[in-house]
Amino acid sequence: NLNGKNYIFFTWKKSIILHLDYKDNLQILA
């Protein structure tokens, strides 16, 4: 169903962005 696909895509995009922010923060702390 379309709504489920959009939800998965949205959460996937959000997790990628959070992961990139996390890696950037680690580099700043290092």
Percent of the chain with pLDDT over 90: 0
Question: Residue 1's pLDDT is what?
Answer: 65
| Chain position carrying tokens 């709504």 | 3
6-14: long-range contacts at Cβ-Cβ below 8 A with a sequence spacing of 24 or more? none
Q: Give the model's confidence band at 19: pLDDT under 50 very low, under 70 low, under 90 confident, else very high.
A: confident
Task: Report the pLDDT averaged over residues 1-10.
Answer: 82
Q: Categorize the per-residue pLDDT at 10 as very low, low, confident or very high, splitting at 50, 70 and 90.
A: confident
Mean pLDDT, range 3-16, rounded to an integer: 85
